[in-house]
Chain A
Amino acid sequence: MLKIERHTTDILILGSGGAGLFAALHAKQQNPDLDITIAVKGLLGKSGCTRMVQGGYNVALNPGDSIERHFMDTIVGGKWLPNQDLAWKLCVTAVERIQELENELGCFFDRNPDGTLHQKAFAGQSFDRTAHKGDLTGIEIINRLMEKVWTLNVNKLEEHRAIELIPAADGSGIAGVLMIDIRTGSYRYIQAKTVLLGTGAGPSMYRYHTPSGDKSCDGLAMGLRYGLALRDMEMVQFHPTGILAGSATRMTGTILEEGLRGAGGYLLNGSGERFMQNYHPAAERATRDIVSRSMYNEMKTGNTTPEGGLFIEMAHLGPDNVRDKFPGMVKRCEDCGFDLAAGRVEVVPTAHYMMGGIEMGIDCTTSSPGLYVAGEDAGGVHGANRLGGNGVANSTVYGGVAGEEMAKAIAAGAPLRDADEVVIESGIARAEHPFSQPPGDMMALRETLWGDMWDHVGILRTQKSVQQGQHCLRQHRDSLNNVGLTDANRAFNLTWHDWLNLDSLIDISCVIASASLAREDSRGAHYREDFPDTGALETSAYTLVSGNPENIHCEMRQVEFSIVQPGESLIEGEAGAPPPTTA
């Protein structure tokens, strides 16, 4: 048997995005004596997507705006699927959180000429409420947060990958987490009174995707195996303009910012013609889901670019003007060999965000005592669609909440539980599995998985396509189990981690497929060509998946309209309508 190092801590946090770091901070603020450990797959604060946030942070700060407005936009944008209590708490706490970021942590957001915070417009919102720092807001947020957490006395397990949530032997709750120390390749078990899942989900099972390379739905996959239920998993948001540069570059799938379309950029098909006006009156300026869907339809006609996508063109706005207005994007394209200012760049819709996730209570609890969840790993806040700017608000708000709640739980006597050693052993066996198999073509497997999810469970779905997808997934599961690794050096063995990434991604792909099949309507990010109608809002139900991937169970649960009923509104005027101030 392999030797496992064992440690004990009060609070174990998985992930160091907005959720993980805020949890550590707020737990320490509640009680500085707590022993806190952050385990993260990459480097602390340097991995995950919070850092990649471009547009900004939604918060109702302006006297002309209101919590109610923000809330209604969130509910209407989420097509009445959000858990309203969660959405309400998001909107309320965002105000306190952004002020904490500004005032206590030192984020320096952009200002209006009168010195107040500048807030810009994001599609689908009735007010200009997105606070930002240029077009790289995430760097400012996560750097300040990270600098703060560096100064706290917390144990940092960087480059540690969680591989299994370990229940208590007596079934009373969470006992700890099994992980791999990536740098040495050895196993480590951390026993903790409370555990936070903040691994940030991330739809990286699609051919084109935006999240950082360390995100592969590990948290969701572990949660599912552990017995937690996942909601809204069919809701995968696609961003319209991912760079398309061929399968051999990691640049493919990364985002060109939304502002390009907002400023008047054109989307062109393979023959260089605009097409968006054929799909929607707002043409290129329509919301993410509409543009992505239209682009996908256009691509289906076969009128595509050499790489099989479409073009974005800005040159008609004047190359110098474009260079001036979008220096970051122009430079990014230039670095990968494209001329955004004067030429055309190939783009394709790209999988961006998972609205779904582990079912969470208002205090970030899960169905298992001691186990908490926050950020993109959690489901229920956004429903069928996430507003641009609500993602980072979600991770920072609920990360902080989780930190406070975990500290409180410990003050109230949360126990250290004894591990179910059988699960530790099966967790290790699972991770060891590839070393018992002959090396194979993992590259090809990854590409086919990506392709199958993109083609069959992607932007447009039908019962047939999803079933086809499920069939493929079963094959991929078998193939993965037969692909192995040479057991030469386990230290920082990325190929081993590629295998483990695929393992998680295949499991969660099965979940997405199952939820997509269950939802027989089209709303938000989910579009069924065989059920194109939204369906009655009053009877809106959400999907809830549980079980193991070979034996998945999906049920539909009625949404509780605890604050506002479909047809009602908390505001005058129209939620989600473009703000009166913007062009």
Chain B
Amino acid sequence: MTPLNKHQSYFAAIGHRFSGVLLSLFLPVHFLLLGTALEGEANFDRYLAFADNPLVKFAEWGLVILLSLHLFFGLRVLMLEFTSWPATKHLGKGENPMIRRWSSWVIPSVIASAFIGVIFLVQSF
């Protein structure tokens, strides 16, 4: 069987899911490392030095992008679910306007997230 033809809102859903899962994996680690500050400023600075490592920076950069992506896609879901739909029976009038509107939200979301990533990079170097 050929798989379902993928469409923008499918990519939004998958993007939302991957970003959510990755965030969930990262966040406890982030919390634990932050928590090491309990053992004093020295520890904390060591953590921050570690965080200055380009590789780690790169990872953080990725996470900022994931967070903003998840935010935009999450807002998309919330808008679809909790704002009102136009009169829904459009015989002969083509794709549902609500679906169209929030599909066209997908690419700008990706661009905006990339943009936030760029700012992050510019800011941190």
A–B contact with Cβ pairs below 8 Å: the answer is: yes
Please report A residues at the B interface, Cβ cutoff 8 Å: 323, 327-328, 330-331, 334
In the complex, which residues of chain B have a beta carbon less than 8 angstroms from the beta carbon of A323? 92
Interface residue? B91 (CB, 8 A): yes
Closest beta carbon of chain A to B57's beta carbon, Å: 56
CA distance A334 to B91 in the complex (A): 11
In the complex, which residues of chain A have a beta carbon less than 8 angstroms from the beta carbon of B91? 327-328, 331
Q: List 8 A-B contacts (CB under 8 A).
A: A323-B92, A327-B91, A327-B92, A328-B91, A330-B92, A331-B91, A331-B92, A334-B92
For the complex of A and B, 3 pairs with smallest distance between CB atoms: A327-B91, A331-B92, A327-B92
Closest beta carbon of chain A to B96's beta carbon, Å: 15
In the complex, which residues of chain A have a beta carbon less than 8 angstroms from the beta carbon of B92? 323, 327, 330-331, 334
| Closest residue of A by beta carbon distance from B90 | A327
Interface residues of B in 65-104 (CB under 8 A from A): 91-92
CA distance A334 to B92 in the complex (A): 9
In the complex, which residues of chain B have a beta carbon less than 8 angstroms from the beta carbon of A327? 91-92
Closest beta carbon of chain A to B109's beta carbon, Å: 33
Closest beta carbon of chain A to B89's beta carbon, Å: 9
In the complex, which residues of chain B have a beta carbon less than 8 angstroms from the beta carbon of A330? 92
Please report B residues at the A interface, Cβ cutoff 8 Å: 91-92
Closest beta carbon of chain A to B86's beta carbon, Å: 16
In the complex, which residues of chain B have a beta carbon less than 8 angstroms from the beta carbon of A331? 91-92
CA distance A209 to B92 in the complex (A): 26
Which of A327, A330, A334 has most chain B Cβ within 10 Å? A327
| Closest residue of A by beta carbon distance from B92 | A331
| Closest residue of B by beta carbon distance from A334 | B92
CA distance A366 to B92 in the complex (A): 47
New A-B pairs, 6, CB < 8 Å, besides A330-B92, A331-B92: A323-B92, A327-B91, A327-B92, A328-B91, A331-B91, A334-B92
Closest beta carbon of chain A to B111's beta carbon, Å: 36
CA distance A331 to B93 in the complex (A): 9
| Closest residue of B by beta carbon distance from A328 | B91
CA distance A328 to B92 in the complex (A): 8
CA distance A328 to B91 in the complex (A): 7
| Closest residue of B by beta carbon distance from A341 | B92
Closest beta carbon of chain B to A499's beta carbon, Å: 32
CA distance A174 to B91 in the complex (A): 49
| Closest residue of A by beta carbon distance from B93 | A327
CA distance A330 to B92 in the complex (A): 8
In the complex, which residues of chain B have a beta carbon less than 8 angstroms from the beta carbon of A334? 92
Closest beta carbon of chain A to B91's beta carbon, Å: 4
CA distance A249 to B31 in the complex (A): 66
| Closest residue of A by beta carbon distance from B91 | A327
CA distance A246 to B110 in the complex (A): 50
CA distance A487 to B87 in the complex (A): 53
CA distance A327 to B90 in the complex (A): 9
Closest beta carbon of chain B to A257's beta carbon, Å: 14
Closest beta carbon of chain B to A198's beta carbon, Å: 32
In the complex, which residues of chain B have a beta carbon less than 8 angstroms from the beta carbon of A328? 91
Closest beta carbon of chain A to B56's beta carbon, Å: 58
CA distance A426 to B16 in the complex (A): 65
| Closest residue of A by beta carbon distance from B89 | A327
Closest beta carbon of chain B to A178's beta carbon, Å: 37
Closest beta carbon of chain B to A338's beta carbon, Å: 13
Closest beta carbon of chain A to B87's beta carbon, Å: 13
CA distance A418 to B91 in the complex (A): 55
Closest beta carbon of chain B to A121's beta carbon, Å: 23
CA distance A174 to B92 in the complex (A): 50
CA distance A328 to B90 in the complex (A): 10
Closest beta carbon of chain B to A469's beta carbon, Å: 42
CA distance A48 to B92 in the complex (A): 26
CA distance A330 to B91 in the complex (A): 9
| Closest residue of B by beta carbon distance from A330 | B92
CA distance A331 to B91 in the complex (A): 7
Closest beta carbon of chain B to A320's beta carbon, Å: 12
Closest beta carbon of chain A to B95's beta carbon, Å: 14
Closest beta carbon of chain B to A334's beta carbon, Å: 7
CA distance A327 to B93 in the complex (A): 9
Closest beta carbon of chain A to B90's beta carbon, Å: 9
Closest beta carbon of chain A to B88's beta carbon, Å: 14
Closest beta carbon of chain A to B71's beta carbon, Å: 39
Closest beta carbon of chain B to A123's beta carbon, Å: 25
CA distance A327 to B89 in the complex (A): 11
Closest beta carbon of chain B to A388's beta carbon, Å: 23
Closest beta carbon of chain B to A321's beta carbon, Å: 14
CA distance A476 to B32 in the complex (A): 86
CA distance A330 to B93 in the complex (A): 11
CA distance A323 to B92 in the complex (A): 9
CA distance A331 to B90 in the complex (A): 11
CA distance A331 to B94 in the complex (A): 11
CA distance A327 to B92 in the complex (A): 7
CA distance A112 to B91 in the complex (A): 22
Closest beta carbon of chain A to B113's beta carbon, Å: 39
CA distance A304 to B120 in the complex (A): 73
CA distance A287 to B91 in the complex (A): 29
CA distance A338 to B110 in the complex (A): 41
